[in-house]
Structure 1
Amino acid sequence: MLTTGNQLKAARALIGMEQQDAASSAGVHVNTIRSMEAAGPSPITGRAQNVQAVQRALEAAGIEFLNHGSPGVRLKAKL
């Protein structure tokens, strides 16, 4: 589950996705991505539907969100 701004930033970095591309894929404004990432290590605040849309878009691009004690990300295993 996508929970922190740093987790979002790390997910984008893993797949080389710019903020604008993430926003377009999720159907949100680029300022939404910027605001989410500005949370840094804190939980993302804002509309849950936007957070879910961003999470789905990044998962579709190959990201897996981890929350085993602390938020993390990794690339999905290729089959």
Structure 2
Amino acid sequence: MPLTSEQCRAARALLDWTQDDLSVRAEVSRSTVRGFEGGQHGLQRATAAAIRRALEAGGVIFLDPDADCGPGVRLGQTAHSDRDKGQS
């Protein structure tokens, strides 16, 4: 399933990451993240894979669309426990 700009923004919000955070973790430029999320351009396959890997490493789970809903994201259990530890 291709990564959508909406999924990218939602995943960053769930992780409380800035565009800079994502660009560093995915090893892509901030302008690439900004342009993709803003709808100015798509992503090369390798760039999309790098962004997706970074978000998944943060604990995001990508959800495929079904008959009722479009594609989405959610946090896995590990991400919840990691975030809770940081807030102690």
Normalised by the length of structure 1, the TM-score is 0.85
Moved more, 44-53 or 13-22: 44-53
Which residue of 33, 45, 51 maps to 1:54?
51
Greater relative contact order, per chain length (Cα 8 Å cut-off, separation 6+): 1
Higher helix share: 2
Task: Structure 1: give runs of 5+ residues left out of the alignment.
Answer: none
Query: Percent same amino acid among aligned pairs?
Result: 38
Q: Quick check: 2:3–2:52 contact (8 Å CA) kept in 1?
A: no
Unaligned runs of 5+ in 2: 82-88
**Partner of residue 8, structure 1:** 8
Shift of 1:2: 5.0
Deviation at 1:36, TM superposition (A): 1.3
After superposition, the C-alpha distances for 1:23-72 in whole angstroms (9 at most, x for unaligned) are 000000001111110129xxx72211001000000100110111132110
1:77–1:2 CA distance, 2 compared to 1 (3 A): farther
